[in-house]
Amino acid sequence: MKFRDGMWLQASSKRVEYAEEIYSLTQQDSNKISLLCPTAQIHSRGDTLNRSTLTVDLEAVTDGILSVEVTHWHGAGDQGPHFDLFPDGRPPVDASIEKSDAGTTLTAGGIAATVTALPHTFDIRFHSTDGRHKLTSLLNRSVGLAYSPATSSPMQTADMRDFKHYILTQTTLGVGEQVYGLGERFGALNKVGQSINLWNVDGGTSSDQAYKNVSFWLSSKGYGVFIDAPERVELEIGSERCCRVQTSVEGQRLKWYIIYGPTPKEVLSRYTMLTGKPNKVPAWSFGLWLSTSFTTEYDEKTVNGFLEGMRERDIPVQVFHYDCFWMRGFHWCDFEFMSSHFADPKGQIARLKESGLITKVSVWVNSYLGQASSVFKEAAEKGYLLKRKNGNIFQWDLWQAGMGIVDFTNPEACTWFVDCLKKLFDTGVDAIKTDFGERIPTQDVRWHDTNVDAAKMHNYYSFIYNKLVFEALQHRYGKDEAVLFARSACAGTQRFPVHWGGDCESTFEAMAESLRGGLSLGLSGFSFWSVDIGGFEGYPNSTIYKRWVQFGLLCSHSRLHGSNSYRVPWLIDDDDKSEQGCSAVLQKFTQLKCRLMPYLYSQAMESIKQGWPVSVRAMGLEFPDDRTAWSCDQQFMLGSSILVVPVFDETGEVDFYLPRGTWTSIWDDSTIKGPQWVKEKHGFDTLPLYVREGTILIMGKPGAIRTVYDWTLPGEHEVRLYEPRADSRFSLYDAEGKLAAVLEAEEDRGVWNVKGMEARVRRLSKDQNY
């Protein structure tokens, strides 16, 4: 939201009052100071009258984190929900407050804020405690309150029913500073110049709307900002004032945290300490998921035929997913397999697992109940559905006819919903796709918990929805065996993986949009991410399908899914049996992922400890001082050591960037020295896949067809050394997520070996092929 008309004028529809000076500073605790900031300079006693003030509270939260809270009227209520912060416990803080002639400095470990001592001045500077790094500032006209429509007299605020009230802050943007994150956003990766509205919407991947709005952004200068506001947050990132990031919310207070790294990885680690680390997910979930697709016609025979066809083509499927129409139309979600198509779902699932065609089963659900279903009647009678203010159940015909929304602020509704899920678990279901959760109304609604703010519930609903289902899976299968396929999210929802990229078209452009969304989500603290391989909407031709297979199988999680057409490979290209056919490409990259599991799963264990993305990981995280790396949004890192470049062109031509160092192709061991831009052309059996110098890469033995096996055993793995150095090191985890060995490279008379476990080391040479 823009509050000004250029630099000089206020927007005609708004009145804005800015903090003009720091009138007084009060030390409240050893780690907190409070600033009283009038909206005019105070030169005489009379200037204190008929004047609004803003209170700015600065608190040292923990090492590297300060909070900033701006309040206008303190008497305003602060209804929930509130983000669940420090879920693993709040670490202690080494705080200090020092005063000098220049001002007052509050420190929290490595970060500090200095409040000016200059009279009639508003000036707060954020910097590293040692003074070496200037981060950002709150300067003149940077903290304010606003009314819309514009008021002409304070008397008008006696009745606020016709006015909206906002709090806004503007932090400075440095020259060349870039901004990333804010959830799964499909536009330009660098958000400078964009207006962003943090409001969950089911808008597909081709707009500025997003399913996953996360109120956290990461600066290329080594700090991040988490906005502690579940409600709608509007940002102008260099788009109202080119040199500032403006944050505004409707209400009487705005709180955010500034988090210092200094590296972007350290910022993410601290941010996810604040909002929660991703949970560990089981190794089986990294395998290929095959879906029925959305509106397709299918039954038990169809499912069996698809899985048998995949086995005939040596394409290992780990998870089979039943999408919406495992239930009857108009009856979503009644949690019942429709008997006309699935006479014996429990028996069928058991037989599929016993046959070895799959290991696990997933089903689609959501928290919307169509009124034709029996569960709607039950939930309505028991008061489990969201209501209108007049006491009626909130219903509309959006998505399902007469649909109601489960009210998860009602503990009894939560218990009931989990009981519905338990029936699915008893049938043999192992994972849940939690679709939707974005279309949560805010007008004319009454929640069971009358203490919650409807506007805050809109985004936050995705957190409580996914948390409930995830914890139900944990209770049934174990803490580290729970897996979701979730679409909606807000800050903190990274704790309940996995998330996928929503509804994309079957085009190269949509494939690139999806990648940008995954990169942005990874820069928002989410470790695991997937995408609809082949695109959701439309009919992918064989070229797009195969290029999407390459991309999708090198994400942390991989699912074949579509809307009104199947995604099994032989239906895409009339069962082309050549090495360049869809089946051969899917087979190769599925098996490649199985071979990469020792590396991939070990990287996942490190990533969830730190809050980093496994894949897709933005280049800037690994190469933070390389300005070109930050601009690369058509390639990504798989973990810390493997560079992946999807192909977005029918010709197979691709341009990509290699940062400084020697990079080795995983296919033929050819090397290229960076930094430089490279142009290559690839058939469908390869794409640019390069290993970073200094890497110890552990791969499974050739022929691995599952993602769960004991790759720590002799003969079950292969160790590759890529331009090893004395500091080359790799922590290897087993398929249970336990640290098995710490491998280090050592040189003995010009020959490099690996110590740390019994290993067969492959010595790379130019004439060896993958």
Q: HEC profile for 506-548?
A: CCHHHHHHHHHHHHHHHCCCCCEEECEECCCECCCCHHHHHHH
Give the H/E segment covering residue 197: strand 194-198
Q: Are 617 and 638 in contact (CB under 8 A)?
A: yes
- At residue 767, the pLDDT reads 34
C-alpha distances in Å from residue 425, one per residue of 92, 366, 473: 41, 16, 8
Helix (H, G, I), strand (E, B) or coil at 262: coil
- At residue 101, the pLDDT reads 94
Q: Tokens 């998505």 sit at which residue?
A: 399
The two three-digit tokens of residue 719, written as one number:
């160790």
If one counts every other C-beta atom within 10 angstroms of the C-beta of residue 715, the result is 8
| Distance separating alpha carbons of residues 244 and 623, to the nearest angstrom | 25
Tens of pLDDT along 400-424? Answer: 999 999 999 999 999 999 999 999 9
- At residue 758, the pLDDT reads 60
| Distance separating alpha carbons of residues 729 and 745, to the nearest angstrom | 7
Separation of first and last alpha carbons in the chain: 53
| Distance separating alpha carbons of residues 343 and 21, to the nearest angstrom | 73
Q: How far is CA 504 from the centre of its chain?
A: 17
- At residue 761, the pLDDT reads 52
Q: Are 170 and 245 in contact (CB under 8 A)?
A: yes
The two three-digit tokens of residue 622, written as one number:
């690994």
Instruction: Supply the residues annotated as catalytic.
Output: 435, 438, 503
Q: Are 34 and 159 in contact (CB under 8 A)?
A: no
C-alpha distances in Å from residue 304, one per residue of 349, 357, 569: 10, 9, 15
| Distance separating alpha carbons of residues 190 and 179, to the nearest angstrom | 6
Helix (H, G, I), strand (E, B) or coil at 334: coil
Residue partners of 721: CB distance under 8 A and separation at least 6 = 695, 696, 697, 728, 745, 752, 754, 761, 762, 763, 764
C-alpha distances in Å from residue 628, one per residue of 677, 681, 716: 10, 22, 39
Q: Tokens 């142009």 sit at which residue?
A: 679
- Please name which of 325, 315, 324, 326 lies closest in space to residue 357, comparing C-alpha atoms: 315
Q: Tokens 């010595």 sit at which residue?
A: 763
Q: Residue 291: phi, psi to the nearest 5?
A: -110, 155
Exposed e or buried b per residue across 496-517, where buried means at least 16 C-beta atoms within 10 angstroms of its C-beta? bbbbbbbbbbbbbebbbbbbbb
The secondary structure of residue 200, as a DSSP letter, is B
Tens of pLDDT along 558-597? Answer: 999 999 999 999 999 999 999 999 999 999 999 999 999 9
- At residue 519, the pLDDT reads 98
- Please name which of 571, 550, 573, 553 lies closest in space to residue 562, comparing C-alpha atoms: 571
Q: How far is CA 293 from the centre of its chain?
A: 24
The answer to whether the pTM exceeds 0.85 is yes
Q: Tokens 């697992």 sit at which residue?
A: 353
Residue partners of 615: CB distance under 8 A and separation at least 6 = 529, 554, 555, 556, 600, 636, 637, 638, 639, 644
| Distance separating alpha carbons of residues 203 and 81, to the nearest angstrom | 25
Q: What residue spans of 525-681 are helical by DSSP H?
A: 542-552, 582-610, 619-622, 627-630
Dihedral of the alpha carbons of 320, 609, 595, 284, in degrees to the nearest 10: -20
Q: What's the maximum distance between 2 C-alpha atoms anywhere in the chain?
A: 88
Which residue segments constitute the domains of the chain, with CATH numbers given? 7-76+87-170 (2.60.40.1760), 283-365+411-442+450-610 (3.20.20.80), 635-762 (2.60.40.1180)
The two three-digit tokens of residue 24, written as one number:
């007084």
Burial of 396 (0-12, 13-18, 19+ CB in 10 A): middle
C-alpha distances in Å from residue 405, one per residue of 235, 332, 485: 29, 12, 20
| Distance separating alpha carbons of residues 607 and 597, to the nearest angstrom | 15
Q: Are 459 and 200 in contact (CB under 8 A)?
A: yes
The two three-digit tokens of residue 513, written as one number:
């949009």
Successive 10-residue mean pLDDT values, the chain, 770 residues: 94 96 95 98 96 98 98 96 97 95 97 98 98 97 97 93 97 97 98 98 96 98 98 98 98 98 98 98 98 95 97 97 96 96 96 96 97 96 98 96 98 98 98 97 97 98 98 98 98 98 97 98 98 97 98 98 97 97 98 98 98 98 97 98 98 98 97 98 98 97 92 92 94 96 88 74 38
Question: What does R_g of the chain's alpha carbons equal in angstroms?
Answer: 27
Q: How long, in residues, is the chain?
A: 770
